[in-house]
Amino acid sequence: MDYARSEWGMIDHARREGREEGREEERARLLKSLHENGVPMEIIAVSVGLPEEAMR
At 6-22, the pLDDT tens digits run: 888 899 999 999 999 99
Residue 31: pLDDT above 80?
yes
CB contact burial 2-14 (16+ within 10 A = b; e otherwise): eeeeeeeeeeeee
Answer for the pair 41, 30: CB distance below 8 angstroms, yes or no: no
Arithmetic mean of pLDDT, 41-55: 83
Does the reported pTM lie above 0.75?
no
Answer for the pair 45, 51: CB distance below 8 angstroms, yes or no: yes
pLDDT, residue 1, reads: 60
Average model confidence (pLDDT) for the chain?
88
What are the boundaries of each domain within the chain? Answer: 2-55
